Chains A and B, each alone.
Chain A
């Protein structure tokens, strides 16, 4: 009798437990679905922001091309946005951007690559552990500081050697931009080179190669995809760089290949126009978006190219 009642009691409690469990199950199922949804929304924030930016850029650029023919924009060599009869040729800006980036890469490419070779092939572990973080401090300096460093220190030095150089010129911001990019090229290339297996170097040494020969004939060819990708990312950084060129290169919209003269890059133009002379709805205001769109296309192409290169030419070991 007692055992019977106990049994009944226990069955009752089990049923209750099942009921309870069912009630909480709905809640927990709801929770299970809710959490990924919320996380998804958070992940979408940055994607939606990107789409918002692209949409704005695109619609305002279309508006600009209704006022200024697209061929005039891309083939015009004169940029006079503020004159009585304004002209909007983007070539001076593209020219300035490309020349400053080329100067920057002429500095950052060789020096960055040599630093990478030293760090990965020659330096002892202890030296590397000191030098690499020190070098990466360079990448953390605010670009504004680099800007007035170029203007107040590098330009006077260049002018004392080469007096033809103007007070604002494209050469000194180009060089300083290169210095800023050195740690990026060096550390990405170094990563690529030190991921080449040790056995390959040892093979070269066993055949009698010096470290130099093993570097140039074995390690660099094997790490080429990573090295090229680091160069391209460096170029893309140089194209998007704003403050250094704005401060040290002035705002003359010259279409010239003379590095001693002042030029304006796309980014510097955007700073100048957004910083003052653009009433909303005017043609100059829409030109801002057209230039921004061109700049965006440039950096996007560079980043895609870097991805393509590092995939296509990857050597697997």
Chain B
């Protein structure tokens, strides 16, 4: 009694291995997709934002004049909320 056709199995073997290898790369690309988006996001935020961060921006208060405006109030507010929720 013959349960398997050896020739048939051998014929299919190559395509099965190729399929496995191709999908392996697709799975890898899917994994890196998130990382690529992360890199783009960080790159954009950093390259577009870094020029505007200086000591004046970090320490001055809100102002209607964009050149003098800063985020001290926002930083203090965040820290306040942060301390309060940990108390």
Chain A interface residues (CB < 8 Å from chain B): 110-111, 114-115, 117-119, 122-123, 131, 134-135, 137-138, 141, 145-146, 149, 153, 179, 182-183, 186, 208, 210-213
Contacts and interface: CB of A to CB of B under 8 A. Distances in A.
A138 B27 contact: no
B33 A111 contact: yes
Interface in B3-37: 9, 16-17, 19-20, 23-24, 26-28, 30-31, 33-35, 37
Contacts of A123: 31
A115 B34 contact: yes
Given A153-B44, A211-B20, A212-B20, A134 B35 contact: yes
B41 interface: yes
B85 to A, nearest CB: 13
A123 B17 CA distance: 17
Given A111-B34, A118-B27, A118-B28, A212 B41 contact: no
A145 B49 CA distance: 12
| Consensus secondary structure, chain A interface | helix
B75 interface: no
A137 B26 contact: no
A146 B34 CA distance: 13
B35 A210 contact: no
Given A212-B20, A212-B23, A141 B41 contact: yes
B23 to A, nearest CB: 5
Interface of B: 9, 16-17, 19-20, 23-24, 26-28, 30-31, 33-35, 37-38, 40-41, 44-45
22 contacts: A111-B33, A111-B34, A114-B27, A114-B30, A114-B31, A115-B30, A115-B33, A117-B27, A118-B24, A118-B27, A131-B31, A134-B38, A145-B41, A145-B45, A146-B41, A149-B44, A182-B34, A208-B9, A210-B16, A212-B19, A212-B20, A212-B23
A213 B34 CA distance: 25
B35 to A, nearest CB: 6
Contacts of A122: 24, 27-28
Contacts of A138: 34-35, 37-38
Contacts of A119: 31
Contacts of A183: 34
Contacts of A211: 20, 24
Given A183-B34, A186-B34, 4 more contacts: A110-B30, A118-B30, A131-B35, A210-B20
Nearest to B34: A182
A118 B25 CA distance: 9
A135 B34 CA distance: 7
